[in-house]
């Protein structure tokens, strides 16, 4: 080929390409640092970031952070109830360090529904920094009650949103989509930005015959599915359960049959304080059978008040009575609705079972219905309450015996249905322990979602989602913060270990007064035992400990240096060794040395 022909060919190709606005020959310009930065920012803006601060590998304490192009918002801020190993702890909330560090980016908090594991942490978050809160009417009403208890109501920025409404949060647009759950006004979320659309279901089930007649808005989820959904974050609580979750109306039918079976006995029903639909059905059946209703338990009383005020609870006139009035009615005319369905130590039902309630005394003429399923970890506490009631010759009805409870969470077929209509590119199971998340991931795979497009996460995980894939970033600060009384975060592992130690082996306190000049023991040492041995029955052991303490003090005390730490350390070591040798127990040793 000649050089002349080659040049001609290039010229012709250039003309063809110019017609298509595709240039074979382009002048390459060197990018300035500013231009490179702009391009980088553009690529970053395509990614939606999600940080999990709670609700992963656990039931409760739900909190998720979404971020796009420098804007952030939070979904839910709940608490978890402490296990038996967290001695003295009242509740557990998420670590807020990550959102505190990015407070200037946070545009608001969206709450999916009014359960404690979704709203319980809000007062503690608002004490850190005040951000707008968006939710539905009932949820806002319940949040107000919590904020009032903490003196935050007047400062809070609360925005009531209806299902199907949209909220603009920086570069995000969030649509509230009505779902069925065990509390009214629950919503899922369609989270949209230039990076794509993410569906966050919240807690949900598909109830075709809900008590309030308002079925989940499946068509709206399907509309988003037809447009294209980048990722689906879905409730995993019942991922192990096959089939469908029963309708709440089924419980109402069971109540009618059981209330009739109770005959002349007083009926006591324990249920979740937040389940308004359950309370409504109890009231309806009680009215039908001409019984009065008394409510016991602070949280339940608050719910009834808020529900009635906002119109979510229809209470017929003269059916509700105060707990002080129950003595005025015969047993066959009473229904008592109480808290304590999880066997909580301080709940009303537990106090009734143990004979400790000031106003309700259990009797063999009671008929107790526990209308709830034990939350994982609470089975033992619920069993203890049932046993205590049965010791009093009380008949107890619980879930395994009759259909007195249905879940508020979707089972496998409902989960698959939601996946099928949303058709997400990526799937992220949330709200569950590891076994729930893994099972849920398996369901997604069975629905045709590629394994590489499924992310099973953990608390603290920080991910980036785009059309190119899911990328795991460096974990963010996360974990459990313990609430004990008015203290938040002041109870850590050291304190808990001390409490466990005390609960297991007790404590020995050694009190001695020493002459500062001579080192002579002027008074004591006195040995005080709590939770270890009964002193009067262990005089020989206590006397041996006293003699040893005297010897240790005289051998280790130096009047020149006054090194109290050495004396106390020696006392701890020697007394602890002696006690273990004689009892095979290891009590906490607390020396108290006073110098005169």
- The mean pLDDT of the chain is 86
Give the CATH class of 44-244+407-484.
Answer: alpha beta
For this structure, is 207 an active site residue? Answer: no
Closest CA to 90 of 399, 344, 441: 344
Query: Out of 95, 235, 366, 480, which one is annotated catalytic?
Result: 235
All structural domains of the chain with their residue ranges: 3-43, 44-244+407-484, 249-397, 493-595
CA dist 257 and 146 (Å) reads: 36
Domain 249-397: CATH superfamily, name plus number:
Metallo-hydrolase/oxidoreductase (3.40.50.10710)
Position 21 scores a pLDDT of: 31
pLDDT single digits (tens) 398-419 = 866 677 888 999 999 999 999 9
In three-state form (DSSP H/G/I as H, E/B as E, the rest C), the secondary structure along 325-391 is HHHHCCHHHEEEEECCCCCCCCCHHHHHHCCCCCCCCCCCCEEEEEECCCCCCCHHHHHHHHHHHHH
Calculate the dihedral angle through the C-alpha atoms of 128, 129, 135, 140, rounding to the nearest 10 degrees.
60
CA dist 561 and 465 (Å) reads: 64
Q: Comparing 9-23, 403-417, 429-443, 578-592, which segment has the lowest mean pLDDT? A: 9-23
* CATH T-level fold of 493-595: Ubiquitin-like (UB roll) (3.10.20)
Residue 341 has pLDDT above 80, yes or no: yes
pTM of the model: 0.79
Top-confidence range, 209-218, 309-318, 416-425, 576-585: 416-425
Neighbouring CB atoms inside 10 A of 345's CB total 12
For this structure, is 235 an active site residue? Answer: yes
Query: Out of 47, 181, 409, 440, which one is annotated catalytic?
Result: 409
CB 232 within 8 A of CB 201: yes
pLDDT single digits (tens) 453-499 = 999 999 999 999 999 999 999 999 998 888 876 667 556 666 667 66
CA dist 482 and 480 (Å) reads: 6
pLDDT band for position 8 (50/70/90)? Answer: very low
**Gyration radius of the chain over CA positions:** 32
């Amino acid at each position: 080929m000649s050089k002349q022909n080659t040049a001609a060919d290039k010229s012709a190709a250039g003309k063809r390409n110019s017609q298509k606005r595709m240039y074979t020959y382009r002048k390459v310009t060197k990018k300035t640092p500013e231009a490179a930065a702009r391009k980088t920012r553009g690529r970053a803006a395509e990614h939606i970031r999600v940080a999990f601060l709670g609700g992963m590998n656990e039931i409760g304490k739900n909190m998720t952070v979404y971020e796009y192009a420098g804007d952030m918002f939070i979904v839910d801020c709940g608490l978890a109830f402490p296990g038996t190993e967290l001695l003295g702890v009242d509740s557990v909330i998420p670590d807020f360090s990550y959102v505190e560090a990015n407070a200037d980016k946070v545009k608001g908090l969206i709450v999916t529904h009014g359960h404690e594991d979704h709203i319980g942490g809000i007062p503690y978050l608002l004490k850190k920094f005040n951000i707008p809160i968006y939710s539905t009417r009932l949820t806002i009403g319940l949040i107000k009650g919590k904020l009032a208890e903490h003196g935050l109501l007047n400062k809070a920025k609360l925005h009531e949103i209806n299902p199907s409404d949209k909220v603009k949060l920086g570069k995000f647009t969030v649509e509230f989509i009505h779902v069925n759950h065990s509390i009214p006004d629950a919503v899922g979320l369609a989270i949209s930005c230039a990076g794509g659309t993410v569906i966050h279901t919240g807690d949900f089930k598909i109830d075709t015959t809900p008590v309030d007649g308002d079925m989940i808005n499946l068509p709206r989820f399907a509309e988003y599915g037809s447009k294209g959904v980048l990722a689906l974050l879905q409730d995993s609580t019942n991922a192990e359960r096959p089939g469908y979750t029963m309708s709440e109306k089924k419980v109402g039918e069971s109540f009618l049959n059981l209330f009739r079976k109770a005959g002349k006995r007083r009926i006591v029903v324990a249920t979740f304080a937040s389940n308004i639909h359950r309370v409504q059905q109890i009231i309806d059946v009680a009215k039908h059978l001409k019984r009065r209703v008394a409510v016991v338990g602070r949280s339940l009383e608050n719910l009834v008040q808020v529900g009635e005020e906002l119109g979510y609870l229809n209470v017929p006139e003269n059916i509700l009575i105060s707990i002080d009035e129950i003595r005025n009615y015969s047993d066959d005319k009473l229904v008592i609705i109480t808290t304590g369905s999880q066997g909580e130590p301080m709940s009303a039902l537990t106090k009734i079972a143990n004979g400790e309630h000031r106003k309700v005394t259990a009797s063999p003429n009671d008929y107790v219905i526990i209308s709830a399923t034990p939350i994982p970890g609470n089975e033992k506490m619920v069993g203890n309450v049932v046993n205590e009631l049965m010791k009093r010759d009380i008949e107890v009805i619980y879930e395994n015996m009759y259909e007195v409870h249905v879940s508020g969470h979707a089972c496998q077929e409902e989960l698959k249905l939601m996946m099928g209509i949303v058709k997400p590119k990526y799937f992220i199971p949330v709200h569950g322990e590891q076994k729930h998340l893994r099972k849920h991931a398996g369901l997604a795979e069975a629905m045709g979602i590629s394994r590489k497009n499924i992310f099973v996460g953990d608390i603290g995980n920080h991910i980036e989602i785009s059309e190119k894939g899911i990328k795991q970033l460096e974990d963010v600060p996360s974990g459990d913060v313990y609430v004990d009384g008015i203290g938040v975060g002041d109870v850590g592992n050291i304190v808990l270990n001390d409490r466990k130690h005390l609960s297991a082996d007790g404590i020995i306190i050694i009190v001695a007064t020493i002459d500062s000049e001579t080192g002579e023991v002027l008074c004591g040492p006195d040995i005080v035992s709590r939770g270890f041995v009964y002193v009067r029955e262990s005089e020989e052991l206590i006397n041996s400990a006293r003699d040893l303490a005297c010897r240790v003090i005289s051998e280790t005390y130096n009047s020149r240096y006054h090194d109290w730490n050495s004396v106390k350390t020696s006392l701890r070591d020697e007394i602890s060794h002696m006690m273990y040798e004689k009892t095979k127990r290891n009590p906490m040793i607390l020396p108290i040395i006073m110098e005169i």
